[in-house]
Structure 1
């Protein structure tokens, strides 16, 4: 029986969760005739909007690790499908911001509602203080994963709990 509290076991479970999430999103993309990159872009734009940050083509390019021409082709595809609008920034008229349309939000709901339906009961089994600890853990894991993807050599970028 594995030591369920070991770091290696937790890393394995995170890898399993990531693989299952990838499989779920891939199936959704196939069913809806959308490229994985399209779904990643919509997710990145949505996340930026929810955190109050404007998403620009340049930021999206860096976030998805795409070249400028590939990002332009991606945005052209999303714009022609009615998922994204390019609008002049209200802060800096030289900048172009990306906005999701209602169509894109419908795609997001169709993608995440079934997942949330299945995740919610698993999450609700735990008391609020344990969910807060899990939220802190996942926030730090996401930051560590982002640091690894960005090529950071500092493996202690996130501060461990005491």
Structure 2
């Protein structure tokens, strides 16, 4: 990055940003590798993850909201859902709140896949976190929250959809 802000960035801040880039890149590579090992594309895992996160927050995902969340066209979303249904990872049902609305739900098969894919990563990250004090973790937590907010603001400023 050769902008004025980058030129004024401290060496430590530059290393932190480089670390974030590496973390993002390695995370993407991990999802791709373990997904492939389990017969799932990264978009498949992202879709299941989005539905699981929605369920945890009490939010139902329709095919349309899932497509918007993944930045997919309607035909691509339909193909994705058909693939996930054939694999036994999701099912389309009627909303309990509005029977006219179709919602996407994850199955126990998808939850098992999620555990198989992400439990080994969680164990590795837990080992890393165990090496930090509560005070250090509080600082990391604050940074990640603020960094996430900054990325969200930048995404919205670039015309990206609201979360």
Same fold (TM over 0.5): yes
* Residue number in structure 2 paired with 1:13: 19
Number of residue equivalences? 150
- How big is the shift at 1:153? 4.9
- How big is the shift at 1:133? 2.9
Whole-Å Cα distance in 2 between the matches of residues 55 and 132 of structure 1? Answer: 32
1:85 aligns to what SS in structure 2?
A: strand
Over 3 Å counting, the alpha-carbon distance change for 1:51 and 1:136 in structure 2 is: farther
- How big is the shift at 1:140? 2.8
Unaligned runs of 5+ in 2: 1-9
Whole-Å Cα distance in 1 between the matches of residues 44 and 131 of structure 2? Answer: 34
Does structure 1 residue 3 correspond to structure 2 residue 11? Answer: yes
Does structure 1 residue 43 correspond to structure 2 residue 49? Answer: yes
- Say which of 90, 94, 108 aligns to 2:96: 90
Whole-Å Cα distance in 2 between the matches of residues 28 and 153 of structure 1? Answer: 31
CA RMSD after TM alignment:
1.9
Considering fraction of residues, name the structure with more helix. Answer: 2
Unaligned runs of 5+ in 1: 155-162
- How big is the shift at 1:85? 1.2
* Residue number in structure 2 paired with 1:28: 34
- Say which of 64, 67, 71 aligns to 1:61: 67
Whole-Å Cα distance in 2 between the matches of residues 86 and 143 of structure 1? Answer: 32
- How big is the shift at 1:137? 2.2
* Residue number in structure 2 paired with 1:141: 147
Over 3 Å counting, the alpha-carbon distance change for 1:153 and 1:83 in structure 2 is: closer
1:90 aligns to what SS in structure 2?
A: coil
1:97 aligns to what SS in structure 2?
A: strand
> What is the TM-score normalised by the length of structure 1?
0.83
* Residue number in structure 1 paired with 2:5: none
Over 3 Å counting, the alpha-carbon distance change for 1:98 and 1:139 in structure 2 is: farther
- How big is the shift at 1:127? 2.2
Q: For each residue in 1:77-132, what CA deviation from the matched residue of structure 2 results, as whole angstroms up to 9, or x when unmatched?
A: 10111000111111122222211100000010011110011110111222223323
> What is the TM-score normalised by the length of structure 2?
0.83
